[in-house]
Amino acid sequence: MPAGLTAALVLGRMRRRVALLDGDDPAHAPSEAVHGFLGHDGAPPADLRRIGREQLAPYTSVDTRMAEVGGASVEDGGFSLHVGGEVIAAAFVLLAAGMRYRPPAIDGIDRVWARGAYHCPYCHGWEVRNLPLAAHGADEMGVHLALLLTSLSGDVVLLTDGDDGLAPEQKAELLDAGIAIREQPIARLESEGDRLARVAFADGATEERAGLFFAPAFDPSPLIVELGCETDDSGAIVIDSEGRTSVPGLFAAGDATTEKKAVVLAAAAGSRAAYAINAELAHRRGAARIG
Ligand SMILES: Cc1cc2nc3c(=O)[nH]c(=O)nc-3n(C[C@H](O)[C@H](O)[C@H](O)COP(=O)(O)OP(=O)(O)OC[C@H]3O[C@@H](n4cnc5c(N)ncnc54)[C@H](O)[C@@H]3O)c2cc1C
């Protein structure tokens, strides 16, 4: 959403013809508020999308459609995008389809996803500051998350969920930072109202927690495979410094391209790619001009 909307804004202001095709199902839809985006801190995600679309309205060369791209292919000198029964031809494509965030398989987590169960302390840590917090995972990321939480709360526990994969030096680092470690398998997350209240363990013990932070898995868009661009081991699209993928004419921006996932970063990447696309169009011999 922020990557695609921002790119459309930049290209619209340069009077480029743009089809903005958006399935309207962005990553942060379950969230109550977007944080850390200057000028919009605390805004409901739906408001951010609405304002973004409203601000595109004056740029009449941008055709915004709430529509899912069902398939895409590389053609001679461009791309074909399948939307419903229609095929849209494009000289350039900016893939800003985001990633599907998949929380760990803990019973009850779906009920409190973005309501106490969070993927990012930068996005949601402030809202649970000074409250009992937990990080999840017996790996480098679990340790990293737990350490990040220590600036938000003096009561942090790392839950390894039955995994004894922590190295002795990781345990020492955690204990040194005042972080407790609980190694029992988790049975479920319990909620009060729509918020996380406590973690219940398989041995019957419970731990009252206002926030549980975890590293989600990420599922990329099938369009990446269809368009044949190179990805790294994490499934992220490989891009150059201006958003070009390994496929000529195909650019990418936002969550689909990086492990650093945030609204401001996606918006910046969309803007950067739009500058590059516009420059390529401007330098194209015989490029069609609007107006
Ligand atoms: C629960 C949650 C809370 C978050 N909170 C924050 C926060 O507070 N602050 C922050 O900075 N970041 C936050 N993030 C991260 C942030 O949402 C993402 O980094 C950002 O939205 C990425 O922008 P994007 O444009 O790359 O992708 P997205 O925002 O995910 O947008 C991708 C868009 O592409 C569309 N799409 C996908 N496939 C197709 C298709 N085939 N056809 C048409 N459209 C398609 C989707 O419908 C969607 O609208 C949060 C993430 C989550 C999951």
CA dihedral 265, 266, 267, 272 (to 10 degrees): 90
Give 90-119 pLDDT, tens digit per residue.
999 999 999 999 999 999 999 999 999 999
Can you say whether residue 110 is alpha, beta or left, with left for phi > 0 and alpha for psi between -120 and 50 degrees? alpha
- 91 alpha carbon to ligand 1 midpoint, in Å? 25
**SS3 state of residue 251:** strand
Tokens standing for 256? 């689909």
Domain boundaries, the chain: 2-100+218-283, 104-213
- 263 alpha carbon to ligand 1 midpoint, in Å? 8
Q: What is the rounded CA–CA span in Å between residue 171 and residue 165?
A: 10
Would the CB of 40 count as within 6 Å of ligand 1?
no
Would the CB of 103 count as within 6 Å of ligand 1?
no
Q: Are strands 93-95 and 250-252 parallel, antiparallel or unpaired?
A: parallel
Would the CB of 97 count as within 6 Å of ligand 1?
yes
Tokens standing for 125? 């840590």
Q: Tell me what pLDDT residue 286 has.
A: 52
For residue 192, with 0-12 CB atoms within 10 Å meaning exposed, 13-18 middle and 19 or more buried, which class applies? exposed
Same fold, 2-100+218-283 and 104-213: yes
Q: What is the rounded CA–CA span in Å between residue 205 and residue 202?
A: 7
Give 224-265 pLDDT, tens digit per residue.
999 999 999 999 999 999 999 999 999 999 999 999 999 999
Tokens standing for 194? 């729509």
Tell whether the model's pLDDT for residue 291 goes beyond 50.
no
Atom of ligand 1 nearest to the CA of 256: 26
Give 48-74 pLDDT, tens digit per residue.
999 999 999 999 999 999 999 999 999
Q: Tell me what pLDDT residue 290 has.
A: 45
How far does Cα 135 stand from its chain's mean position? 19
Give 6-46 pLDDT, tens digit per residue.
999 999 999 999 999 999 999 898 999 999 999 999 999 99
Would the CB of 110 count as within 6 Å of ligand 1?
no
Atom of ligand 1 nearest to the CA of 124: 8
Give 163-206 pLDDT, tens digit per residue.
989 999 999 999 999 999 999 999 999 999 999 999 999 999 99
Q: How far is CA 21 from each of CA 93, 132, 173, 231, rounded to the nearest angstrom?
A: 11, 42, 47, 22
Amino acid (one-letter) located at 134: A
- 258 alpha carbon to ligand 1 midpoint, in Å? 12
- Say if CB 11 and CB 275 are below 8 A apart: no
Architecture of domain 104-213: 3-Layer(bba) Sandwich (3.50)
Give the residue, by CA position, lying nearest to ligand 1 atom 1: 28
- 170 alpha carbon to ligand 1 midpoint, in Å? 32
Would the CB of 237 count as within 6 Å of ligand 1?
no
Instruction: Please name which of 226, 222, 279, 280 lies closest in space to residue 256, comparing C-alpha atoms.
Output: 222
Give 124-134 pLDDT, tens digit per residue.
999 999 999 99
Strand ranges (E), 76-176: 78-83, 86-90, 93-95, 99-102, 117-118, 133-136, 156-159
Would you tell me which CATH number, out of the four given (3.50.50.60, 1.10.150.20, 3.40.50.2300, 3.10.400.10), belongs to the domain 2-100+218-283? Answer: 3.50.50.60
DSSP 8-state assignment for residue 261:
-
Would the CB of 37 count as within 6 Å of ligand 1?
yes
